[in-house]
Amino acid sequence: AQKITQTQPGMFVQEKEAVTLDCTYDTSDPSYGLFWYKQPSSGEMIFLIYQGSYDQQNATEGRYSLNFQKARKSANLVISASQLGDSAMYFCAMGREKLTFGTGTRLTIIP
Amino acid sequence: DAGITQSPRHKVTETGTPVTLRCHQTENHRYMYWYRQDPGHGLRLIHYSYGVKDTDKGEVSDGYSVSRSKTEDFLLTLESATSSQTSVYFCAISVGTRRDEQFFGPGTRLTVL
């Protein structure tokens, strides 16, 4: 069975600062993907970034990067230079085809 | 925009009535999924499909059935809705050569009274 743990239910960060959202996972599958999604108050699920378990380099997408540490089974999301529009729920997920999600972290950016 | 629509977007129904939610995609992706989102649980997989007439159960499939008679449509049916099925339902598709990246529809908010 797969399990995702997001230990930070809520975070407050000053605008323009970098923020790290924690995600640890557990799986016995040798091959898997790791994902981050953003869910603003409007409710849609927005795909942010993907990391394959065999990818050698950490994934980056604009201001988002995934700090993948396979031995520690962690896949933290780093948002550089946070903006007010980054305030949202953030979900970590893992799997191949069938995804398992964490319970999310509510990020609030303070002006 | 992954070309996914869900209908209806909002529905209120009564316990014991059947309900069907529709997910429609415009890009002929093979893999489609139904998730539900509840407070404190994140998203949980209900059913998924890997082709026309090919479906399988997810983590929380009890009380739900699905059908996929065309590539573009994936239907989720609650045969006899219960209050515990009050939730937000998301449809998703897999895209990309690795089939791993999933994009979600806008969601359907279902309330069972």
> How does pLDDT run across A22-48, given as a tens digit for each residue?
999 999 998 899 999 999 999 999 999
Distance between CA atoms of residues B55 and A74, nearest Å:
31
Sorted by sequence, the CB contacts under 8 Å of residue A72 that are 6+ apart come out as A24
Characterize the bridge pairing of strands A10-14 and A105-110. parallel
Query: Does pLDDT of B1 surpass 60?
Result: no
Q: Which residue of chain B is at minimal alpha-carbon distance from A99?
A: B45
pLDDT score of A56: 87
pLDDT score of A1: 82
By Cβ distance, the residue of B43, B59, B104 closest to A44 is B104
Q: Are B101 and B31 spatial neighbours (Cβ–Cβ below 8 Å)? A: no
The three-class DSSP label of residue A84 is helix
Size of interface A-B (CB pairs under 8 A): 58
Residue B42: pLDDT band with limits 50, 70, 90: confident
Do the Cβ atoms of A47 and B44 come within 8 Å?
no
Q: Are A41 and A29 spatial neighbours (Cβ–Cβ below 8 Å)? A: no
Query: Does pLDDT of B73 surpass 80?
Result: yes
Is A34 touching B (CB cutoff 8 A)?
no
Q: What is the DSSP string of B67-84?
A: EEEETTEEEEEESS--GG
Q: Are B97 and B8 spatial neighbours (Cβ–Cβ below 8 Å)? A: no
Structure tokens at A20: 């790290």
pLDDT score of B5: 96
Instruction: Kindly report which listed range (A92-96, B17-21, B44-48, B71-75) carries the lowest average pLDDT score.
Output: A92-96
Q: Are A88 and A40 spatial neighbours (Cβ–Cβ below 8 Å)? A: yes
By Cβ distance, the residue of A4, A47, A97 closest to B99 is A97
Residues B2-5: contacts with CB within 8 Å, 24+ apart?
Answer: B2/B27, B2/B93, B2/B95, B2/B103, B2/B104, B3/B27, B4/B91, B4/B92, B4/B93, B4/B103, B4/B104, B4/B105, B4/B106, B5/B105, B5/B106
Task: Determine the residue among B32, B61, B100 to mutate to test chain A binding: the one whose Cβ has the most chain A Cβ atoms within 10 Å.
Answer: B100
Characterize the bridge pairing of strands B19-25 and B73-78. antiparallel
Largest Cα span, chain A: 43
Mean pLDDT within B79-104: 87
Q: Which residue of chain B is at minimal alpha-carbon distance from A104?
A: B42
Write out the residues of chain B at the interface with chain A, using a CB-CB cutoff of 8 A.
31, 33, 35, 40-45, 48, 50, 58-59, 88, 90, 92, 94, 98-104, 106-107
